[in-house]
Chains A and B, each alone.
Chain A
Amino acid sequence: MLERFIQLITDFPLWFISDLFLLLAVAAGLVNLSFLNKPFYWLLILISLTLSIELAMTIYAAYRQNNHYLINLTSLVEMVCLAIVYAKEIRSPRSRMIIYGLGLIYLIAFLINFEWTRIADYMIGIQRISMIIFVFLHFQSLLVSMRVTNLFSHAMFWVSAGVLIYATGTLFVFLFVNKTLRDPSGDFTWYMIFTQSFSGFFYFVIALSFWLRRREVRMVEHSGL
């Protein structure tokens, strides 16, 4: 059993690093739990669910069983949680309508394209595009409302930046999934490592953002507001 895991780690070291960041992010979220507002709370839920799915995936992999449906599930978790995060963060009703609309389109794609043994077609691509739109909506709200005075210490800005990099970085791989991850003659491992590095980066940014969130709340407390 243990050898199998060690084998996995030596075979896919990058994968393991991204899982380490995931663990770090969950820990950071739990440590700063009392500083989290609703959107960050949902971010923590997203990260925790991803961690459990990732654990299941590792176990499947250790026993050399097909775990691709778990990748589809991760996408579902990310989409639902991020939709809630942004719906809670952006107060404008129009943006919320767009977020819910995208969520609905995604759910339909999920129901149509979900497969147990393969990474779903289109669905994850739609998810990445939706994520990019969420981030744009958030950026727009930041620019319109002007409520944040110091953007660089605003944790949610960094979350959005992380989401944007993560989504754009993995967009093409999943948009052309038939020619990349689903292509039997393609280099599955290469593409997986490619996307996994972006996941790792995303988890790392989220871990950082939990600390930033703590600092932000502290700063507001200090300024006596």
Chain B
Amino acid sequence: MKLYIAVGTAVLLVMAIFIIVFVAYYQQKQIRQQLALKELQEKYRKELMAATLQAQEHERRRIAQDLHDEIGTMLSVTKLSLNQLGRTVEHNDPGSTMLVQKTRSLLDETISNVRRISRDLVPTTLERFGLVSALEELAEKASHGEVHVELSCSEKIPVLAPHLNLTLYRIAQELTNNAIKHANASNIVIDLHCRPGEVLLSVVDDGHGFDLDEILKDKRRGLGLRNIESRLSVIDGHVTFDVARGRGSRIIIQVKNPRPEVQVEVETV
């Protein structure tokens, strides 16, 4: 009997151990698959986001081109014929001269508005002269009346990939706009500097601040901050809100810069 029991038990034990090993193996395999699936989904989400952002930029570029080439041209032509009309009217009907002049100045204003809008839609400066110049231009344009916007920037800014440049620029644009629109700030500082392998962009204002939790809970809030987050998710960036009600805000963007540190400083020949 002892032998039967011993052998039977041994067989059972082998089966039990087999089951334990099988459960462990199978479960771990499933978990790995699940993780891989999640990663894939995350990657897909990022790609979708990147594609959306790119499509947005394309669309902007198209609108800017149409504005500039079609409406701009039409307006110029209109101005030409208005000038002709003006000359005819000056001789025959001096009373209408005033009206023609008024129309002309309205037209001029419209032309410069169209040019401004089409230039704002596409960050031409960014593409031609780089991030620092684009931010300088942004600061200059945003400074208006009471509001003073200033760029502070360490002199050694490495060359960044074009999509990083664009992302940082768009974010700086939104943050500056927010500070002007909501904070009632008079001094805004856009700060750009680099650490090894990392670029930091922060926008600091001296306005009245806000409560981040409250804003994030608000379902009807604007798109600005959300867009910043989705833009950053594409490039694995990180945003830190150092904000509170009753004091100025500081919003810091951290972006990894995988490129080797290539200095932008012009080499002296």
A-side interface residues toward B, CB under 8 Å? 139, 142-143, 146, 148-149, 151-152, 157, 161, 164-165, 168-173, 176, 179-180, 183, 186-187, 190-191, 194
Find the B residue at minimum CB distance from A187. B2
Contact call B23/A143, Cβ cutoff below 8 A? yes
- Which B1-40 residues have a C-beta within 8 angstroms of A? 1-2, 4-6, 8-9, 12-13, 15-17, 19-20, 23-24, 26-28, 30-31, 34
- Which B47-99 residues have a C-beta within 8 angstroms of A? none
Contact call A190/B13, Cβ cutoff below 8 A? no
Q: A164-B19, A173-B5 are in contact. Are A157 and B26 (CB under 8 A)?
A: no
By a CB distance below 8 angstroms, the chain A residues around B4 are 172
Query: Smallest CB–CB gap between B156 and chain A, Å?
Result: 36
By a CB distance below 8 angstroms, the chain A residues around B8 are 172
Find the A residue at minimum CB distance from B23. A139
Contact call B20/A164, Cβ cutoff below 8 A? yes
Contact call B24/A151, Cβ cutoff below 8 A? yes
A43 to B20 Cα, complex, angstroms: 20
Cross-interface CB contact of A143 among B2, B17, B30, B34, cutoff 8 Å = B30
**Ordered nearest first, which 5 A-B pairs have the shortest CB separation?**
A168-B12, A168-B16, A139-B23, A172-B8, A161-B20
Cross-interface CB contact of B9 among A143, A161, A172, cutoff 8 Å = A172
Query: Smallest CB–CB gap between A147 and chain B, Å?
Result: 10
Question: Chain A's interface: helix, strand, loop or mixed, by majority?
Answer: helix
Find the A residue at minimum CB distance from B28. A151
Q: A164-B16, A164-B19, A165-B16 are in contact. Are A157 and B24 (CB under 8 A)?
A: yes
Q: Which of B2, B20, B28 has the most CB of A within 10 A?
A: B20
By a CB distance below 8 angstroms, the chain A residues around B5 are 172-173, 176, 180, 191, 194
Q: A143-B26, A173-B5, A186-B1 are in contact. Are A168 and B13 (CB under 8 A)?
A: yes
Cβ proximity bits B166-183 to A, threshold 8 Å, 1 near / 0 not: 000000000000000000
Cross-interface CB contact of B17 among A146, A148, A165, cutoff 8 Å = A165
Contact call A139/B9, Cβ cutoff below 8 A? no
Query: Smallest CB–CB gap between B21 and chain A, Å?
Result: 10
Contact call B27/A142, Cβ cutoff below 8 A? yes
By a CB distance below 8 angstroms, the chain A residues around B12 are 168-169, 171-172
Cross-interface CB contact of A180 among B1, B13, B31, B34, cutoff 8 Å = B1
Find the A residue at minimum CB distance from B17. A165
Query: Smallest CB–CB gap between B12 and chain A, Å?
Result: 4
By a CB distance below 8 angstroms, the chain A residues around B34 are 146
Query: Smallest CB–CB gap between B75 and chain A, Å?
Result: 59
Known A-B contacts: A142-B27, A151-B28, A165-B20. Give 4 more (CB < 8 A): A139-B19, A143-B26, A157-B24, A172-B5
Find the B residue at minimum CB distance from A161. B20
By a CB distance below 8 angstroms, the chain B residues around A183 are 1
By a CB distance below 8 angstroms, the chain A residues around B9 are 168-173
Query: Smallest CB–CB gap between B63 and chain A, Å?
Result: 45
Query: Smallest CB–CB gap between B110 and chain A, Å?
Result: 57
By a CB distance below 8 angstroms, the chain B residues around A191 are 2, 5
Query: Smallest CB–CB gap between A146 and chain B, Å?
Result: 6
Cross-interface CB contact of A142 among B2, B16, B23, cutoff 8 Å = B23
Contact call A146/B15, Cβ cutoff below 8 A? no
A179 to B2 Cα, complex, angstroms: 10
Query: Smallest CB–CB gap between A100 and chain B, Å?
Result: 24
A143 to B34 Cα, complex, angstroms: 12
By a CB distance below 8 angstroms, the chain B residues around A161 are 20
Find the A residue at minimum CB distance from B22. A139
Query: Smallest CB–CB gap between A179 and chain B, Å?
Result: 5
A101 to B182 Cα, complex, angstroms: 65
By a CB distance below 8 angstroms, the chain A residues around B15 are 168
By a CB distance below 8 angstroms, the chain A residues around B13 are 165, 168-169
Contact call A179/B1, Cβ cutoff below 8 A? yes
A105 to B131 Cα, complex, angstroms: 77
By a CB distance below 8 angstroms, the chain A residues around B23 are 139, 142-143, 151, 157
Q: A164-B19, A171-B9 are in contact. Are A151 and B27 (CB under 8 A)?
A: yes
